[in-house]
Amino acid sequence: MSWGLSPQTNLLSGKQHQSNEVNILLLCPGDPRSILKTLADAVIERGSLDDGADSYSQSQHLRFHIVEEHTEILARHFLLLHTFFDESVPIKQRSVMYLEIFGNSMITDKASAYVEEKGKSLVELVLDEKEQLGLEGIFDLSLLKQREKDDLASVFESFGAPSHCDLMEERSYILRSYYGDRYDSRSAVIDWDYHTQVKPFASIIHPTQFRDWRLEGQAFEFGGSSYNSTNQTVPIPTKSRTHLKMDVTTGPFISYGIDCDRTDPFADALFEVHNKGTGAVQHRYSSTDVSLYNIARFMWEISTREEYRMQTKGDVLSGIGGECIEKIDTDNVQEETDPPGRVSFSIVPIKDCRTLFRKQRFKGLFHSVFVSHDASSIVKDLNFYELMKSGASMTVETCSLQVVTNKSHKQESTKRLREMLGGANMTETTVVRNADCNESLLMFRIN
């Protein structure tokens, strides 16, 4: 899918690594949410450490290896990461545009022009590695075969080309196939899904917001913006691309929009509920506000190496203000905007995750591994655990937050995962998490 089934999480939370390079493997994460969260937290943690501390040193590499089975999803990683780090666009506009591209079927004309422009730049990136788009050291293409680069370039070119398949028409076809005889009563089905499967774990997702996305594919809309252009980055299943799946049930809200760090004094207010104990309980803010807060916070902290703090309750962008302008005007821009600590991303497109443990160079390499629900069957193979260093951590995504998967199936699936990981000499660890998201991620450590 184009997004995950779990909230963003720090894949190095509470862990100390002495090596100069920390290798993190993500198997089919769908989006870069946990990369951004891990990176932002590492930047702040480093900034709070004295010289010689045991955790993250300034010379340490955080090296993220992203495995996606489908080129179209991998291409979205490139574009989203490039958008995230593109400091030619101010954080306020960039965070909004990031969410548009990430979660909407239709985007603004301005965002569409941006996608087309960056698509052309990304073609140059994968075909001419000398061109690094001002993000030197971020993308390591050394593990890409030439054929895989050509495939990526083809997808990037499609970002600016007229689509041979109408996204909204294709989405309508998928919706008709999904609802079947219930199509004419789909609004009632959506309301049922919301109240039975969304509201219990993420009431911050407003019912109207969820309904709009299920019907029209619009998750994040801002102010008086007009959304007239097709989002060319959305992977569309066609006869030649039957491997792709378009999510029309769960939505992109989980990745950034149902939880956030509460260290900001005003963060708890984003989940403020009015009319408790009545039949008209309502959140003051929405999943869009939480998503925007998370993205803006990550951008701010990675850019400035300072903790993000809202200056006004409820105004998720109020922590930027003039302070960001002053920071850029007075400091060395190149030094401040380059991701700190020589953080690099190694993009590893592999059609089958299992090819990893057939390559000697990956054995015993990884300090931390993230396994998405789509890739979770790999935990059954004992050879998979040879990829990890002794004491490495593993974060496994469950289907507990997936909509239209019945409750008993979710519970049984999670139980099987625990049994398989326990049989593979993994010990489940205790991690303090938002109670609503408890079962979306299982945390283990290799013995």
Tell whether the model's pLDDT for residue 48 goes beyond 80: no
**Quick check: is 260 in a domain?**
yes
**Quick check: is 443 in a domain?**
no
**Contact in structure between 70 and 243 (CB atoms under 8 Å):** yes
pLDDT of 167: 82
**Quick check: is 6 in a domain?**
no
pLDDT of 327: 40
Of the chain, the end-to-end C-alpha distance in Å amounts to 32
Q: pLDDT tens across 223-238, in order?
A: 889 999 999 999 876 5
Q: pLDDT tens across 271-305, in order?
A: 999 877 776 778 999 999 999 999 999 999 998 88
**Quick check: is 376 in a domain?**
no
- Provide the pLDDT confidence category of residue 131 given band limits of 50, 70 and 90: low
**Quick check: is 444 in a domain?**
no
Q: pLDDT tens across 354-364, in order?
A: 778 788 989 99
pLDDT of 127: 87
pLDDT of 447: 81
Q: pLDDT tens across 368-395, in order?
A: 999 999 999 999 888 899 999 999 999 9
pLDDT-wise least confident of 210-224, 260-274, 312-326: 312-326
pTM, entire model: 0.90
CA–CA separation, 262 and 270 (whole Å) = 10
Tell whether the model's pLDDT for residue 53 goes beyond 80: no
**Quick check: is 170 in a domain?**
yes
**Quick check: is 47 in a domain?**
yes
Which residues contact residue 412 at a Cβ distance below 8 angstroms, ignoring those fewer than 6 apart?
A: none
CA–CA separation, 133 and 117 (whole Å) = 12
Highest mean pLDDT among 20-29, 239-248, 406-415, 417-426: 20-29
- When pLDDT is averaged across residues 59-64 and rounded to a whole number, the result is 79
Could you tell me the residue range of the domain that residue 44 belongs to?
A: 21-345
Q: pLDDT tens across 195-249, in order?
A: 999 998 899 999 999 999 999 999 999 988 999 999 999 987 654 555 557 899 9
Please tell me the total count of domains within the chain.
1
**Quick check: is 432 in a domain?**
no
